[in-house]
Amino acid sequence: MAVDLTVNIGAWQLANPIMTASGTFGYGEEFSDFVELDKLGAIVVKGISVEPRSGNPPPRVVETACGMLNAIGLENKGLAHFIDQKIPMLAQTGAAVVANILGDQVADYGEISGALDEQEVIRAIEVNISCPNVKKGGVAFGTQPAMAAKVTRAVRRATSKPVIVKLSPNVTDITEIARAVAHEGADGLSLINTLLGMAIDARSRRPKLANVVGGLSGPAIKPVALRMVYQVAQATDLPIIGIGGISTASDVVEFLIAGASAVQVGTANFINPGVSGQLVDELRNFLEQEGLDSVRELTGSLIT
């Protein structure tokens, strides 16, 4: 019998738990030479704001030990461009698409979710309240439980689609935020976004990023991400999408064991643009080797 890779987030059933993380996979089309997009559980597109954003000045990325810092600043062409140019292209691919949305004010989140509600190709909304690289909005909504709740409520009211809230690790107690958004009707949680970090050039004494600080991603953050997924899984009943330094099938399984129902692959897409598709096959092999019938058996199966 073939192993069952399907997982659920609210009423939405994904073909498998492998997704791509927002901001690391463009709009999918950039990767179509390397991955069959409809083979993935879902692709999460680059964050969408109401109006276009030009992003931060360069340099925007720098490598650090086993990871990278970025301060892109949510560069994107805005909601109208996404609907006019990207949605028709995405519909052609047959991929399950999650729209990652962001805003400067609560109303922006409601506006974007409302505008996307009738778009069939969009299977779920991922609410970005955790970008560390912009001055207002973004992480401000993600670090205060009351603000996180307010944004979630606005999205919940504006859309009939599953609502996933992407959580920031740059907080004292991530479970507090998780509970606040769960209470407002979120269908799932994705975590973690990048960890706020910094790199300095010793000779010039200058920061390596023009924005001075940026978000750390890659294998360096995996232990932190696993810990937070584990903590949030203990604190809420919502399905969790684990993110942070995933590049192998073992990484995927570890996040599932910690309590995740699905995962997102991020920085690894930059190194191997075909990795997400390969992980679907490798996860299936792992389950067969372990004699498991369903990937759902792994979720929260940590033995302590």
The residues of the shown chain that bind other proteins, judged by CB under 8 A, are 23-26, 30-31, 33-34, 46, 54-63, 65-68, 70, 72, 75, 218-219, 267, 269-274
Q: Quick one: 140 or 270, whose CB is closer to other proteins?
A: 270
Least gap, CB of 237 to other proteins (angstroms): 34
Q: Are 27 and 86 in contact (CB under 8 A)?
A: yes
Least gap, CB of 272 to other proteins (angstroms): 7
Alpha helix positions (H), 82-125: 87-93, 106-116
Least gap, CB of 81 to other proteins (angstroms): 14
Q: Quick one: 130 or 269, whose CB is closer to other proteins?
A: 269
Least gap, CB of 26 to other proteins (angstroms): 4
CA-based nearest residue to 228, from 142, 109, 150, 127: 142
Q: Quick one: 94 or 274, whose CB is closer to other proteins?
A: 274
Q: Quick one: 162 or 266, whose CB is closer to other proteins?
A: 266
Q: Are 239 and 216 in contact (CB under 8 A)?
A: no
Q: Are 131 and 214 in contact (CB under 8 A)?
A: no
Q: What's the rounded Cα separation, in Å, for the pair 157 and 53? A: 25
Q: Are 88 and 119 in contact (CB under 8 A)?
A: no
Q: What's the rounded Cα separation, in Å, for the pair 103 and 203? A: 38
- Residue 131 a catalytic site member: yes
* 263 HSE (CA, 13 A, CB side): 35
Please identify which of the residues 131, 155, 216, 295 carries the catalytic annotation.
131
Catalytic positions are 131
